[in-house]
Amino acid sequence: MTDYLNALVVFANFVFVPALTYGCQLALGSLGVTMIYSVLRFSNFAQGETMAFGTVITIMVTWLLQSWGVSLGFLPTALLALPIGILVTALVLLLTDRYVYRYYRTKRSKSITFVMASLGVMFIMNGVVRLLLGPNDQNFADGERFFLTADAFRAWTGLDEALVIRTSQALTIILAVILVVALFWFLQRTKTGKAMRAYADNENLALLSGINPDRIVRITWIITAALATVAGVLYGLDKGYKPLSYYNLLLPIFAAVIVGGIGKPIGAIVGGFIIAFSEVIVTYAYKKVLTYVLPTDMAPDGLVQLLSTEYKFAVSFVILVIVLLVKPTGLFKGKVL
């Protein structure tokens, strides 16, 4: 019995908790893409770099705060810097909208033109991010490292294996829940949120009923900036900041959005978790779990890993392909064509 419990704890420690955190980060990032999609009607390729940009600003403010001796006790100082990161990112996104996307909106260009423009924005941001903080890894996590330490868990349960929850992981889950609840409350209950949904649903009808499109678009960008920055900072706290990994998040994010149904906020969240769990489950080496579960003489020799971690984006891609082949509208009947 203890063997099974140990196996379960190992599984929870190396698969469930990391996948849950990663899923939260992806869900927040995907929500941004889906919001932009439903209001502005294009896939925003700059989302990954927007997350990186928000993170860079937050890191720089964090360092400034740290040099002043400000800290948040057991929480990372980055939380204090987060609002400023969001503010700057929102400002930058509003500027890109004003000088890049608005022109195509008034011209009613095809959505592919927007996508291409977003690619241009993405590369400018890519350069700016590296210009500000360089291409290397940066660690900006401080405060208490663990929310639940291995020793505490062992003392509590008496098992050999331990479930460790890092502060960044706990923080990710809590913040993601708060943000998602706030977003849904905003969309369902407030007047602006309802106007936004109306605009996303039928642009002409919304215009007819006196909804100001510029205001809707501005609010969408601000929400996207907030979601992207929080997602980026949480990802950076969890796994360390590295500019390239934010670019690599683009594929899982798009996969999550399409799996859930493009333009559907709830779909983006579910899609984020589906992608995250598949990625972690497929790339985890099950040797340790199986050693506990199977009888000693059947213990596996190899790592029992389905796919090496280098190919983790192959997982998102395969899921994406399956969805495109089987159900192009996604799980929640998003838009297609």
Q: Which is nearer to other proteins, 192 or 305 (CB)?
A: 305
d(CA 330, CA 320): 10
**According to the binding rule CB under 8 A, does residue 43 interact with other proteins?**
yes
- Total residues at interface with other proteins (CB under 8 A): 50
The nearest distance, CB 337 to other proteins, in angstroms, is: 6
310 binds other proteins (CB under 8 A): yes
Q: Does 324 bind other proteins (CB under 8 A)?
A: yes
Among 314, 323, 321, residue whose Cα is nearest residue 270: 323
Burial, 234: exposed, middle or buried (Cβ in 10 Å; 0-12, 13-18, 19+)? buried
Stretch that binds other proteins, among 21-29, 87-95, 264-272, 318-326 (CB under 8 A): 318-326
* Residue 250 CB, nearest approach to other proteins (Å): 7
Residue type, 82: L
Minimum gap (Å) between residue 64 Cβ and other proteins: 16
> Distance between CA atoms of 37 and 272, rounded to whole angstroms?
16
Mark 98-127 with x for binding to other proteins (rule: CB under 8 A) and - for no binding.
--x--xx----xxxxx-xxx-xxxxxx-xx
Interface stretch with other proteins, choices 75-83, 233-241, 283-291, 303-311 (CB under 8 A): 303-311
Instruction: Select from 190, 186, 229 the least CA-distant residue to 84.
Output: 229
Distance of closest approach, residue 160 Cβ to other proteins, in angstroms: 31
Residue 135 phi, psi (nearest 5): -85, 0
Minimum CB separation of residue 173 from other proteins in Å reads 28
**Window 252-271: contact mask with other proteins (x via CB under 8 A):** --xx--x---x---------
Q: How would you class 159 by CB atoms within 10 Å of its CB: exposed for 0-12, middle for 13-18, buried for 19 or more?
A: middle
Residue 159: φ, ψ to 5°: -90, 165
Region for residue 274 given its phi and psi (left: phi exceeds 0; alpha: psi -120 to 50; beta: otherwise): alpha
- Should residue 336 be labelled a site residue for other proteins when binding is judged by CB under 8 A? yes
Q: Are 165 and 148 in contact (CB under 8 A)?
A: yes
Identity of the residue numbered 19: A
- List the one residue out of 332, 247, 320 whose CA is nearest residue 278: 320
Least Å distance, CB 279 to other proteins, is 13
> Does residue 134 belong to the site contacting other proteins (CB under 8 A)?
yes
Footprint of other proteins on this chain (CB under 8 A)?
A: 42-43, 45, 100, 103-104, 109-113, 115-117, 119-124, 126-128, 130-131, 134, 247-248, 250-251, 254-255, 258, 262, 308, 310-311, 313-314, 316-317, 320-321, 324-326, 328, 335-337
